[in-house]
Amino acid sequence: MSSLTATVGGMSFIRTSVSNGVGEIVLDRPKALNALDQSMIDDMYAALGDWGDDDSIETVLVTSASDRAFCAGGDIRAIREHSLDGDTAAITRYFSSEYRLDQMVADYPKPYVSLIDGAAMGGGLGISVHGEIRVVTEKAMIAMPETAIGFFPDIGSTYFLPRLPEGVGMWLGLTGARIRGIDAVAVGLATHFVASADIAGVAESIRSGDPLADALATSGTTETSDVPLRKVGEYFADDNINAIVGGLRGAIGDEWAEEMIGLLEKASPTSLWVTAAMINAGAQSGIDECFDRELHAAEQITATHDFREGVRAVLVDKDRNPVFDPAAIDDVDPAVVARIVGA
């Protein structure tokens, strides 16, 4: 077995090892719930690049050292600091390298297996959903919560969200709704469900070089998804924010619709318009074009008040009381949305 670590200030945030034809990446930044910083992205990209060209490596396995999270996303707090400092070069470097990593996962020439036994949000989906095999447990929590911080669902999600069942991608992208592991399987974000108690055994079987079909033989559950696909399709299949919100507000007495309105009201109105536009554009685009569009949008939106304010309220001061400008979806300037999206 060989191994290496990615270190920052003496602390290891990524551990890699190779044995029995399996290259494993262990995300190990527990205090930040494995949020991907620049060094983690760079080292993960380097490891995957080496293994992709190494004929002795047959499979890649990505796991977490945390019992709470697979990966809670990107290092958005650092991006906010870069934005406040006017360091646009650092912002571009971060997102371009993150999307390059996600693209590598999407194009990877070997089986790429992610074991998700905790929270996986934002950037955590970028390094998992694009891969061939995504294993989740009952402890998995999947979400794209970016609109609540004045951002938008990125990491190639503008490619995969519109390809989920009708309305599901728009629903997840706009509301940031959290779904369980079995729900992720039901809508296509995950490929296998394994009980959390069995996930360590699955990992060990893969590390031992067992055929993936054998390692995943314990997958499956009698549990069923409670994602209300009919309601999601009814309310979120439209491509226009005003139509979606109008439909939800018109559903008098529907508790689920009221809950969704509550989530939308916590989001940046500008982010909602940008997200809808990005998902609509992604439905007609290849994955390369989606990443290019996302990079442009990320560079633009991180310079806005809503991004700085949203991250402050959710991740820095944690008062959960952002003051977005404009504060209503009807007041969002279409020209601002077009500039961010690049339309």
Catalytically active residues, by annotation: 74, 123, 146, 154
Q: How far is CA 274 from CA 190, 300, 336, 343, in A?
A: 26, 11, 9, 11
Question: Residue-wise over 104-117: b if at least 16 C-beta within 10 A, else e?
Answer: bbbebebebbbbbb
> Is beta strand 112-116 parallel, antiparallel or unpaired with respect to 141-143?
unpaired
Closest CA to 151 of 127, 122, 171: 122
Let me know how long the chain is. 343
**Token match 């409670």: residue?**
226
Q: How far is CA 293 from CA 6, 188, 260, 339, in A?
A: 30, 23, 27, 11
Closest CA to 157 of 223, 205, 111, 106: 106
Give the number of other CB atoms < 10 A from CB of residue 290.
27
Closest CA to 117 of 178, 65, 176, 59: 65
Question: Residue-wise over 60-76: b if at least 16 C-beta within 10 A, else e?
Answer: bbbbbebeebbbbbbbb
d(C-alpha 231, C-alpha 205), whole Å: 40
DSSP 3-state of 53: coil
d(C-alpha 85, C-alpha 129), whole Å: 33
CA Rg value for the chain: 20
**Token match 């080496």: residue?**
50
